Structure 1
């Protein structure tokens, strides 16, 4: 299945008073991994919009296991695990050196017509084609 990982270094401006990465920044880290994953198939956000669909996040869950710290090298992983009716992506944030899991979770995105604003109840054919899935005519 489609997967990507990116290495990042926790910057000073992501640190809170406890000297750890503020929890809201983890959304940014997984977004970077999600974009890298979708870019692999040529279906980044601008490509989505150009094909007539947008994919808002309708659910996001993160579980924090260990804190990330200033200047720590981390890896953000994204893996597509469902694609037929929605896009479900699993994430892990890891220490780059030890591969210890710092956080994990998933997001769910639903396809929406950019023209009508209507939610699609199945993934659009253009997305399935980008994944290399053959679409059978009815």
Structure 2
């Protein structure tokens, strides 16, 4: 994972509804796990979805890249690590999912987000001040 200004971790496990006929987590279900990491990261910087809405900005995903290394299995406990690596003009969040017991990396990924004014639906070319201010405690 690249150097992140702030990181967060959470624990989860694959459930029956995540599994495909090959008895592994279907590749299209991994974004759900990334979202768990993103929520933890946003909570850590005190800019969760409620705060986001109050600030007047949404942050849709505009790009996602996933690299699978090993399959995630039913009921396997995993650690999801999310790190904010870019924030000036867009947000880039790097993810790793690791087997909680062995620490083996199962996949790595990133998502890219842009700020959108919720009143005008206009994409912002610069990260709004309200978000940059949330990062100040982590810029030591």
Query: Which TM-score bucket, shorter chain as reference?
Result: over 0.9
Cα RMSD, aligned residues only: 1.0
For structure 2, the 5+ residue unaligned runs are: none
Q: Which residue of 2 aligns with 1:18?
A: 22
Question: 1:67-102: per-residue Cα shift (whole Å, max 9, x none)?
Answer: 000111111110000001000000011100111110
For structure 1, the 5+ residue unaligned runs are: 134-138
Structure 1 position 98 matched with structure 2 position 102: yes
Q: Which residue of 2 aligns with 1:65?
A: 69
Distance 1:22 1:13 in 2: 9
Q: How does 1:1-138 map to 2 (within 5 A)?
A: 1-132=5-136
TM-score, L = length of structure 1: 0.93
TM-score, L = length of structure 2: 0.92
Distance 2:50 2:32 in 1: 18
User: Higher helix fraction: Structure 1 or Structure 2?
Assistant: 2
How far 1:12 moved relative to its partner?
Answer: 1.5
How far 1:23 moved relative to its partner?
Answer: 1.0
For these two proteins, the number of residue pairs brought into alignment is: 133
4+ aligned runs moved over 6 Å, structure 1: none
Distance 1:94 1:123 in 2: 30
